[in-house]
A and B are shown apart, each in its own frame.
Chain A
Amino acid sequence: MPFLIDCPNCGRRSPYEFKFGGECKRAPDPGADVKAWCDYLYLYENMSGVQDEWWYHTMGCRSWLKIRRNTVTHEIIEE
C-alpha cells in the first residue's frame, strides 16, 4: 500500500477503500462564459508535488474528504 488516508470518521485506512475524486478546482461563476466552463471541466493543474484532492470513502463512511497529498512521494500532509 503506497500510503494510508486518515478518514475523520473511520481512522487510518487503505486508499483502496476510497474512490479518487481528482484535484480540487474552483468552479467559475454561474454567469461565466463557455470557455471558462470548458477550462474548468477539461483542464488540470496535474501537480507533480503537493495538491489538494477529493477522495470518496466508498467502502467506509461514504463521505467526501479533502486530502492534501504529494503526488510524487505519496506523502499525506496533515493540516
Chain B
Amino acid sequence: MPTSQPVLRYKQPEKRYDVIVIGAGLHGLAAAYNLARYHRVGRIAVLERRYIGFGGSGRNTEMIRANKRAHETLPFYKESLEMWDGLSAELEWNLMVQKKGLIALAHSDGELAVMRMLSDSQRRAGIKIDMLGPEEVKKMVPSLDVSDKPALPVAGAQFHPEGGTVHHDAALWGYAKAASRCGVDICAGVEVTGFYVEGGKVNGVRTNVGNIAAGKVHVAVGGYSSEIARMLGVKYPVVTIPMQVMTTEVMAPFLDYYVASPRLHWYTQQTLKGDLILGGQLDPWQSWNSSTTWQECSERVAFILEYFPDLAHARVVRSWSGLCDCTGDSAPVMGPSGIDGLSLDIAWGYYGFKSTPACGKYAAEYIATGKVPEKIRHFGLDRFYNRQRVREIII
C-alpha cells in the first residue's frame, strides 16, 4: 500500500545494547527481526557502515532453491525454501515470491549421471525433483535450442519445481521494516572498527561514532568477513571472490522458468518486470573490487546466446558484481566463533540469499539460547579441525 510515511527511520546508536548485529544485509536484518520477534533478549541494534543492502543482499540474482547435495545440509535449505512461502504475510510486505521452477541443463551423459545422483539425495531429503529429456525441456522452454547446434548440446535436465525467485529489495525492506517495528535500532553509517574482548568474552564494539557496549555481537557482514577477522586477530576459512551479473532491457514475456547450466556457469530468468537477469560466474581470482569484469560477462552472454539464439537482438543495460566469501567446501560458517558472546553467520558466498529465512531463524535461536541448533550443527568452524567438512557441490 502506498504510504507517505517512511517504512523505517535510521537511528543513532545508543551507548549500550544487549545484542549488536554487524551488517544490515538480509542475514543481519533477519537475525535481528527473529531475535526481537521470537526471543526475549532486550535491546537490539543493527550497525551498518554504508546503507542497508549495500553488499550481497542488493547484488544477488534473486534465486531461491534447495537442490544441493550434502545430506547434512539439505534439511536446512529445504526449510529455508519453504519459509519463503509464509514470509510475505509474516513481514506484512509483498516479497514477490514466485516459485516458477528451476531447470538445470546437462550437456553430457556424465553430467546426467551426476544429476541423477543429486536428485536421489534431494528426493531422500523430501525435496521435489524430476529428470527431464531434451524434448520435455523444449516443451517447457520453447525458445531454448535443444538441437545439436551448440558446441555442447542439451542432453537432459534436472527440474526443481519449487525453485524460483524472490524480489531481493522487497525482502530486504520487508525485514528492515519488520525489525524496525519490533523495536530494533537500525543504524546506518556506523562502522565497526574494533572489538572489546576481555577474558575470551566480547564486551562491545568500537565504532566511528564511539564505543557501544554489548554482551552479544553477531557478525553478518557477508563478503567482508575477513575484515572482521583482522580486527579480532584471527583468520576465517574464506576467500573473497566477486560474482558477475547483468540485466537486459525489458522484453515481452517468453521465459517461464529459471534456466541454468551448471557446467557452463550461466543462468538466466525473466523477472516479473520483463528484463532478463543473466549470470553468473565467479571471477577466477580473489578480489575485493566489485566492478564488472568484461571477460566473465562476455563469456556468459556468448554461452547463453548459444542456447537462446533469438536473444541476439537483446541489449544488456546494466551489470554489477557482488563479493562472495567462499569456503573450500562450499558450505557456510554459522554458530560459535571461539569468543564468548560473538556469533558468526559468514561465508555464504554463492547462496546466502535463498537461505535468509532459515539463517535468521537459527542465528537468532543460537544467539538467544547459546546452544547450536541441530540444523546448523554442521556449519561450525570446528568442522575444519575434526574432518567434518561438508561434502557439497560448488553450486
List residues of A whose CB falls within 8 A of some B CB: 1-2, 15-16, 19-20, 22-23, 34-35, 38-39, 42-48, 53, 71-74
B226 at the interface (CB under 8 A from A): yes
Which residue in B284, B289, B291 is a CB contact (below 8 Å) of A20? B284
Q: How far is the CA of A45 from the CA of B228 in the complex (A)?
A: 11
Q: Would you give the shortest CB distance from A11 to chain B, in whole angstroms?
A: 20
The interface on chain B, measured as residues whose beta carbon lies within 8 A of the other chain's beta carbons, has a size of: 25
Binary flags per residue of B294-336, CB closer than 8 Å to A gives 1, else 0? 1100000000000000000000000000000100100000000
Q: Would you give the shortest CB distance from B237 to chain A, in whole angstroms?
A: 4
Q: Would you give the shortest CB distance from A56 to chain B, in whole angstroms?
A: 11
Structural contact, B239 and A44, CB atoms closer than 8 A: yes
Structural contact, B286 and A42, CB atoms closer than 8 A: no
Between-chain CB contacts (< 8 Å), 14 pairs = A1-B294, A2-B287, A2-B289, A2-B291, A15-B285, A42-B384, A43-B236, A43-B384, A44-B235, A45-B230, A46-B239, A46-B325, A48-B288, A71-B288
Structural contact, B384 and A16, CB atoms closer than 8 A: no
Whether A1 contacts B289 in the complex (CB less than 8 A), given A44-B237, A46-B226, comes out as no
Q: How far is the CA of A24 from the CA of B385 in the complex (A)?
A: 21
List residues of B whose CB falls within 8 A of some A CB: 224, 226-227, 229-230, 235-240, 284-289, 291, 293-295, 325, 328, 384-385
Whether A46 contacts B236 in the complex (CB less than 8 A), given A2-B293, A20-B286, A71-B288, comes out as yes
Q: Would you give the shortest CB distance from A73 to chain B, in whole angstroms?
A: 7
Q: Would you give the shortest CB distance from A1 to chain B, in whole angstroms?
A: 7
Residues on B with C-beta less than 8 A from A44 are 226, 235-239
Closest to B238 in A: A46
Residues on B with C-beta less than 8 A from A16 are 284, 295
Number of A-B contacts (CB under 8 A): 63
**Other contacts beyond A23-B286, A73-B289: 8, CB < 8 A:** A19-B284, A22-B286, A44-B226, A45-B226, A46-B238, A46-B286, A48-B288, A71-B240
Closest to B284 in A: A20
Q: Which of B226, B235, B287, B385 has the most CB of A within 10 A?
A: B287
Q: Which of B236, B284, B285, B288 has the most CB of A within 10 A?
A: B285
Which residue in A34, A43, A71 is a CB contact (below 8 Å) of B286? A71
Residues on A with C-beta less than 8 A from B384 are 38, 42-43
Q: How far is the CA of A19 from the CA of B283 in the complex (A)?
A: 12
Residues on A with C-beta less than 8 A from B287 are 2, 71, 74
Residues on B with C-beta less than 8 A from A19 are 284
Q: Would you give the shortest CB distance from B56 to chain A, in whole angstroms?
A: 15
Which residue in B236, B286, B385 is a CB contact (below 8 Å) of A53? B286
Structural contact, B240 and A46, CB atoms closer than 8 A: yes
Residues on B with C-beta less than 8 A from A34 are 385
Structural contact, A20 and B240, CB atoms closer than 8 A: no
Residues on A with C-beta less than 8 A from B289 are 2, 71-74
> What are the 8 tightest A-B residue pairs by CB atom distance, in nearest-first order?
A46-B226, A20-B285, A43-B235, A42-B237, A42-B384, A48-B288, A72-B288, A71-B288
